[in-house]
């Protein structure tokens, strides 16, 4: 039975706000101090997902502080919640991380591993995973990337085209291979499921997509769909269905956590904007000429973020209307449960023997992946329908009521 097994979740960026919130949250859930609110698949029973209690966390970070200290700094948990799990968090300390200042300028960590070559770094990552499984007695492991956004790279380089070319580039310490790609490679090459919750380039390099298919490693998406893009991909399908023509969509974001700081580097921000831009045009079926996305580091908010969207549409008789959205949300509170569900669904995929891109997990990502260049679905309601269909593949799914979900 899936429920009794133990699943390791190895997180790149374990000391970050999202990861510490996920770790603390699963511990609070285990102790019955919170319910399953916010966990999208809590109501899905009997379809083979491991229980929340089966998850064991570990991972890397550039900062060496223990998770209690990290959680205290991020200030996402309430004081009472933090006190309840402080002893558990205090015992957890990230493993030193691979880092490359050329890929992420605004973040300076102290716990970087001083490896001389890319190959050595890969070896170290794989060794960490092996040790993690042994020490914790884990049946299986999935890897999730939550590290700060890196700068963009050119996906069409020949070095990124095939597993073979990529291996050579690794051997040659290719300067365009960033840390996220390294972690992805280290997981995929051993058939370990990998999800990239950031806009950094990782498993979306063609070489690694091919490799995942060969090794049977389930992979999925890029850049977690938590806030503004979630709303955008919920509303845009209805604007399309009602034939309301989108003349412009102005999206502005303010956020004040380490993520926002990383995005203050224009190179990293571009990567983020790229993953956010494609969804709208794809859903509508035409290019919105004035689609503007702004991200602003704004200290007073801390981990809270705020999105303000203004949408200009024209309707019947060409007449203009406006819709404005203002989302006052919490980055980690929205993201943490999604990476928990990603870990559980990727693990399920692997046990089902599915490898390569699992496109049924698209609802979790701003930039979903699709296998073999098939068109990507961005509309959230349709993604949700596909996820539910995928989960219930083997048997008739009985939709859980929301009340049952809350009961967990």
Q: How far is the CB of 224 from its own copies (least distance, A)?
A: 12
Q: How far is the CB of 141 from its own copies (least distance, A)?
A: 23
Choice from 13, 17, 19, 36 touching its own copies (CB under 8 A):
36
Q: How far is the CB of 191 from its own copies (least distance, A)?
A: 30
For position 254 contacting its own copies by CB under 8 A, the verdict is: yes
> Going by DSSP bridges, is the β-strand pair 7-12/140-145 parallel, antiparallel, or unpaired?
parallel
Choice from 70, 184, 195, 235 touching its own copies (CB under 8 A):
235
Q: How far is the CB of 169 from its own copies (least distance, A)?
A: 37
For position 217 contacting its own copies by CB under 8 A, the verdict is: no
Nearer to its own copies, 123 or 407 (CB): 407
Q: How far is the CB of 247 from its own copies (least distance, A)?
A: 4
Choice from 40, 206, 216, 392 touching its own copies (CB under 8 A):
40
Nearer to its own copies, 198 or 380 (CB): 380
Query: Where in 13-32 is the site for its own copies (CB under 8 A)?
Result: 21, 24-25, 28
Choice from 150, 204, 265, 306 touching its own copies (CB under 8 A):
306
Choice from 116, 316, 373, 394 touching its own copies (CB under 8 A):
316
Query: Where in 370-389 is the site for its own copies (CB under 8 A)?
Result: 379-382, 384-385
For position 312 contacting its own copies by CB under 8 A, the verdict is: yes
Residues in contact with its own copies, total (CB under 8 A)? 85
Nearer to its own copies, 103 or 297 (CB): 297
3-state secondary structure the chain: CHHHCCEEEEEECCCCHHHHHHHHHHHHHHCCCCCCCCCCCCCCCCCCCCCHHHEEEEEEECCCCCHHHHHHHHCCCCHHHHHHHHHHHHCCCCEEECCCCCCCCCCCCCCECCCCCHHHHHHHHHHHHHHHHHHHCCCEEEEEECCCCCCCCCCCCHHHCCHHHHHHHHHCCCCCCCHHHHHHHHHHCCCCCEEECCCCCCCCCHHHHHHHHHHCCEEEEECECCCHHHHHHHHHHHHHHCCCEEEEEEEEEEECCHHHHHHCCHHHHHHHHHHHHHHHHHHHCCCCCEEEEEEEECHHHCCEEEEEEEEEEECHHHCEEEEEEEEEEEHHHHHHHHHHHHHHHHHHHHHCCCCEECHHHHHHECCCCCHHHCCCCCCHHHHHHHHHHHHCCCCCCCCCCHHHHHHC
Nearer to its own copies, 136 or 374 (CB): 374
Nearer to its own copies, 78 or 116 (CB): 78
Range 278-314 burial, b when 16+ CB lie within 10 A, else e: ebbebbbeeebeebebebebeeebbbbbbbbbebbbe
Choice from 32, 137, 300, 373 touching its own copies (CB under 8 A):
300
* CA distance readout (Å), 372 to 82, 213, 369: 44, 10, 9
For position 244 contacting its own copies by CB under 8 A, the verdict is: yes
Longest pairwise C-alpha distance within the chain: 67
Nearer to its own copies, 97 or 263 (CB): 263
Nearer to its own copies, 36 or 268 (CB): 36
For position 224 contacting its own copies by CB under 8 A, the verdict is: no
Nearest to 17 by CA among 367, 339, 366: 339
Nearer to its own copies, 154 or 241 (CB): 241
Span of 162-170, 207-215, 216-224, 396-404 interacting with its own copies by CB under 8 A: 396-404
For position 250 contacting its own copies by CB under 8 A, the verdict is: yes
Q: How far is the CB of 211 from its own copies (least distance, A)?
A: 32
Query: Where in 142-181 is the site for its own copies (CB under 8 A)?
Result: none
Query: Where in 47-106 is the site for its own copies (CB under 8 A)?
Result: 76-81
Query: Where in 319-348 is the site for its own copies (CB under 8 A)?
Result: 319-330, 333-334, 336-337
């Amino acid at each position: 039975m899936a429920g009794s097994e133990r699943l390791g979740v190895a997180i790149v960026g374990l000391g970050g706000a999202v990861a510490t919130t996920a770790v603390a949250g699963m511990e609070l859930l285990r102790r019955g101090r919170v319910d399953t609110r916010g966990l999208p698949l809590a109501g899905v029973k009997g379809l083979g997902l491991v229980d929340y209690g089966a998850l064991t966390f570990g991972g890397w970070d550039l900062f060496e502080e223990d998770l209690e200290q990290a959680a205290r700094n991020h200030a996402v948990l309430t004081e009472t919640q933090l006190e309840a799990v402080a002893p558990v968090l205090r015992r957890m300390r990230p493993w030193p991380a691979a880092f490359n200042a050329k890929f992420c300028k605004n973040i300076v960590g102290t716990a970087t591993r001083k490896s001389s070559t890319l190959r050595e770094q890969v070896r170290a990552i794989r060794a960490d995973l092996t040790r993690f499984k042994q020490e914790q007695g884990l049946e299986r492991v999935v890897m999730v990337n939550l590290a700060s956004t890196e700068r963009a790279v050119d996906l069409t380089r020949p070095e990124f085209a095939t597993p073979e070319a990529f291996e050579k580039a690794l051997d040659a310490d290719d300067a365009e291979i960033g840390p996220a790609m390294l972690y992805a490679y280290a997981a995929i090459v051993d058939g370990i499921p990998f999800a990239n919750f950031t806009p950094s380039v990782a498993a979306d390099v063609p070489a690694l997509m091919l490799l995942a298919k060969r090794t049977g490693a389930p992979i999925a998406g890029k850049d977690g769909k938590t806030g503004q893009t979630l709303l955008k991909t919920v509303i845009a399908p209805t604007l399309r269905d009602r034939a309301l023509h989108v003349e412009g969509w102005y999206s502005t974001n303010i956020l004040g956590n380490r993520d926002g700081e990383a995005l203050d580097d224009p190179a990293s921000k571009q990567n983020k904007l790229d993953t956010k831009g494609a969804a709208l045009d794809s859903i509508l079926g035409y290019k919105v000429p004035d689609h503007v996305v702004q991200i602003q580091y704004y200290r007073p908010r801390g981990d809270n973020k705020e999105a303000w969207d203004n949408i200009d549409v024209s309707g019947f008789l060409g007449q203009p209307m406006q819709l404005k959205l203002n989302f006052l949300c919490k980055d980690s509170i929205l993201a943490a449960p999604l990476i928990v569900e990603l870990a559980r669904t990727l693990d399920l995929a692997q046990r089902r023997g599915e490898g390569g891109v699992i496109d049924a997990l698209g609802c979790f990502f701003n930039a979903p992946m699709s296998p073999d260049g098939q068109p990507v679905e961005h509309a959230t309601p349709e993604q949700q329908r596909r996820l539910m269909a995928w989960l219930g593949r083997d048997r008739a799914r009985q939709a859980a009521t929301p009340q049952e979900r809350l009961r967990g």
